Chain A
Amino acid sequence: MQNNITRRFMMAATASVALFATTATSALAEGWAPQKPVEMVIMAGQGGGADRLARMFQAIIQKEGLSRMPMLPVNMGGGSGAEALRYLKDKEGDAHTIMATLNSYYTTPLRTDIGVNIEEFTPIARMAEDTFLLWVSADSGITSLDDYVAKVKTSGKDWKMGGTGTGQEDSLLTAMIEKTFGLEMTYVPFQGGGDVAKNLVGNHIDSTVNNPSEQMGFFRAGKSIPLVAFTPERLVQFPDVPTARELGHDLVYVMQRSFVAPPGMPAEAVAYYTEMFRQLSELPEWQKYTQDESLEPAFLTGNELQAYFLEEREKHRAILAGMEDGSS
């Protein structure tokens, strides 16, 4: 009897907690929910675009009560994300780990032998596509793409392009720029986009291809100048910056900002996180953020997302192959 009462009480308590949870989280799918804090692995170092974005997701998720359990961001930027990829692979079947991706999600397994095949990972959701601009420091006196190309041509290998690691998206974009304009620069790797941005303003490097969010603070303080945008259209935040296409060069490159999960994550958990991110993508905070930081919202999930990943991987394989030809 005693036991029965306890049990009933427990059931009532669970029900009311569940009720509370549902009211708080509007309409998250019933059923499976995380039982412990969810680890949010970030494939990059602190302060870069990926890091800021992931931490903002974490903050929104907690503020809006989209998850009953907190999200704990963990930076694993080592080796162009290899550390994170390997970590996720070893978490096979785990329901409490998700990972925020960059394009190094494709390139790192192609370049290094870490035993990771991204086909095995579980796709959750693509939140946005991030954009790139070419930046120089305000002290450089360079104001246009033509100036830039002329200056780099005379400097040759002394020209330092900063980035987040060989094989990272900025190094691919750098290779594409070099090819298009017939330039040769020295590519210097740093540990995150924030570090790159700081080193540009401190004049330790001469140019970068940062995401808008990484340079926004310096840009608004007048310390860095965007020369050209590698997007199909001009960016709302930078109406005066021409696109490469407008200037007659077909250079377009975007970076997906997505979430994936370990191989073999239980289907209920996948459904839970997918729904969580779908709700997040509809929030006004997120929509305002994408506009402020020049992100293109592009929500995609499930099989379509996996197909997109695999298609992009092939594109990157081609770019990487081109880079190797160029350097040898």
Chain B
Amino acid sequence: MEMFSLLADGFATSLSPLNIMIVLIGVTVGLFIGAMPGLGSVNGVAIVLPLTFIVPPSSAIILLAAIYYGAMYGGAISSILLGIPGASTAVATTFDGRPMAQQGKAGLALIAAAVASFVGGTISVVLFTLFAAPLADLALAFGPAEEFALVLMAFTTFVGLGGDDKLKTVIMICLGLVLSTVGLDLISGQPRLIFGDMPGFYSGVSFLVLAIGVYGIGEVLYTIETSKTAPTVTAAKITWKELGYGIREMNKLWRSMSIGSFLGFFVGMLPAAGATPASLMAYGIARQTSKRPDSFGKGNIEGVAAPETANNAASTGSLLPMLTLGIPGSPTTALLLGGMVMWGLVPGPMLFIEQPDFVWGLISSLYTANFAAVLINIALIPLFVWALRMPFTVLCSIVIVLCIVGGFAPSQKMHDVWMIAGFGVAGYLLRKADYPLAPLVLALVLGPLMEKSFRQTLIAEQGNVLAFIERPLSGTFIAIALLFFALPLIKMLRKNGRRAVAPAE
């Protein structure tokens, strides 16, 4: 098989001493950048890009890919320990990671995140290796109608999210959709909902700002209230024995991890989607198909494994359209693309033919980066958990500082800091009133994507709504979406039906 000899050549490149060293450095740097709220892989890659010109292109891309990967692993750390998403891709990890930490199972959650990231990364690299070419064709088959259908499917998986109160879930989804329309209209460019003329709203409501507000600040406020006397954050210690136990525990997570891997890879591969929607969708589907959906959001380890496999799988997936089509699947791959253009490589269908050394060196380095990342991450877990032993009074000030810094850093606008404060208070109140927050966050991520693809399709099809079901791919997705939507309804009807029948007898 030609592919395997090419991959073997690739390994010859990526296993050279220089490149192994580069992978180790990149993964460690990425891990810490990812763990800092507000700093994600985009920032890491941007900062390091100029340094890459001192090494050959194949080593340079390996360094950038290693940082990219490391950051995906790192994002989970602050999500779990502090309840602040380390990066937008790790928001879904807070849903169950944070409750686990509060129950004193931070170590287990971190191990789950690391192993899940490894599994997601590895499965997706294997998929990449075997099916890069046919999958590129699949990415091409995705037009606006298919994008819309996929997003609709993502929404339906979340209808049941947030407990039994469906009405509250729907209210939160609507609120999120309203927030997603703030800013300039995607198609006509007219400003919408800018509260008179507040310039800060022109670029819309940032998803990370909302997530840091409601999860970071809101969580701190809630904890302060509920733990007036005794701090609930457990002083978690971790031993090697527990580590071993944690890894064995992962055996039970194959279902959620395979959902995360395949879904993540697939969604990541689509231009315009990326790792954030992928991780949220994986969480939704893992919950929907679980036997105990009620335990999600309350510290279910599967709720950590699913989004963490998905975001790593998606980061590999988003390399695929970049290399094969020259279209970045995520903001970070856009930066990688800039680097490649600089090194004189033309991304596109011909890259695999004209530059096999480069392509296969990169692919093989994804295997080594994954391996390095999981080892470094697990080795550092005791250190991370140790941070939780701080007194709550200290920890909660640190969390607030990190929230503010993390919200300010990406766009450097005071406006965002005020928004975080506002969302923090709102998040606290909503939580007290028992409104689920995950659907709100999901709607803000997917809303713009859904609106754009819906309007594009209608323009292209001259207002023909049937276009969504006439196309085979999007039709299939819509059918699945309807099924997901109807599932809780069917369950409920069957239950009620039995109840209704019983007394009559």
Contact = CB atoms under 8 A, between A and B. Distances in A.
Interface stretch (A26-34, A72-80, A234-242, A259-267): A72-80
Interface string A113-146: 1110000000000000000000000000000000
11 contacts: A47-B328, A47-B337, A55-B335, A59-B339, A59-B341, A73-B338, A80-B189, A83-B184, A166-B188, A189-B456, A217-B351
A46 B334 contact: yes
Given A194-B327, A198-B327, A220 B184 contact: no
Nearest to A161: B460
A167 B189 contact: yes
Contact of B346 (A81, A191, A217): A217
B393 interface: no
Contacts of B199: 86-87, 90
Contacts of B334: 46-47, 51, 55, 75
Nearest to B203: A83
Residue of A80, A108, A115, A194 most packed against chain B (CB within 10 A): A194
Interface in A83-122: 83, 86-87, 90, 108, 111-115
A93 B326 CA distance: 36
Interface string B197-219: 10100111000000000000000
B188 A188 contact: no
Residue with the greatest number of chain B CB neighbours at <10 A, chosen from A47, A52, A112: A47
Contact of A63 (B53, B197, B347): B53
Interface string B326-359: 1110010011011101100011111100000000
Contact of A220 (B335, B338, B350, B462): B350
Interface of B: 46-47, 49-50, 53, 139-144, 183-191, 197, 199, 202-204, 271-272, 321, 325-328, 331, 334-335, 337-339, 341-342, 346-351, 452, 456, 459-460, 462
Given A47-B337, A86-B202, A218-B348, A191 B186 contact: yes
A216 B456 contact: no
Contact of B202 (A60, A87, A190, A217): A87
Nearest to A39: B412
Contact of B203 (A72, A76, A195): A76
B187 A204 contact: no
A225 to B, nearest CB: 14
A82 interface: yes
A194 B184 CA distance: 21
A90 B328 CA distance: 29
Contacts of A186: 459-460, 462
Contact of B197 (A83, A115, A189): A115
Contact of B183 (A70, A78, A111, A220): A78
B204 A191 contact: no
Contacts of B326: 47, 194, 197, 217
Nearest to B184: A79
Contacts of B347: 217
Contacts of A291: none
Given A83-B202, A217-B351, 16 more contacts: A47-B327, A52-B337, A59-B339, A62-B50, A63-B53, A76-B203, A79-B186, A86-B184, A87-B202, A113-B190, A114-B184, A191-B272, A198-B139, A216-B348, A218-B348, A220-B349
Nearest to A47: B327
A210 to B, nearest CB: 12
A148 B342 CA distance: 36
Contacts of A201: 140, 325
Interface residues of A, number: 58
A87 B199 CA distance: 8
A75 B337 CA distance: 14
Contact of A195 (B49, B272, B331): B272
Interface in A206-260: 216-218, 220-221, 223
Nearest to A217: B348
B349 A111 contact: no
A195 B271 CA distance: 8
A52 B328 CA distance: 11
Contact of A78 (B47, B141, B203, B351): B203
Contacts of A87: 199, 202-203
Contact of A199 (B46, B143, B349, B459): B143
A316 interface: no
Contacts of B337: 47, 52, 55
Contacts of A55: 334-335, 337-338, 341-342
Nearest to B204: A78
Given A83-B203, A199-B143, A218 B349 contact: yes
Most buried by A among B46, B337, B342, B350: B342
A82 B199 CA distance: 12
Contact of A60 (B141, B197, B342): B342
Contacts of A199: 143-144
A76 B334 CA distance: 13
B251 to A, nearest CB: 40
Nearest to B190: A112
B139 to A, nearest CB: 8
Contacts of A160: 460
Contacts of A60: 342
A65 B199 CA distance: 34
B141 A202 contact: yes
Contacts of A80: 189
B342 A63 contact: yes
Contacts of A72: 46
A8 interface: no
A81 B201 CA distance: 15
Contacts of A158: 462
Nearest to B43: A72
A58 interface: yes
B341 A204 contact: no
A7 interface: no
A56 interface: yes
Contacts of A218: 325, 348-349
A157 interface: yes
B49 A62 contact: yes
A217 to B, nearest CB: 2
A166 B328 contact: no
Nearest to B324: A217
Contact of B184 (A75, A82, A197): A82
A199 B144 CA distance: 9
A137 to B, nearest CB: 10
A79 B188 contact: yes
A202 B142 contact: yes
Interface string A143-182: 0000000000000011010000111000000000000000
B196 to A, nearest CB: 12
Contacts of B350: 217, 220-221
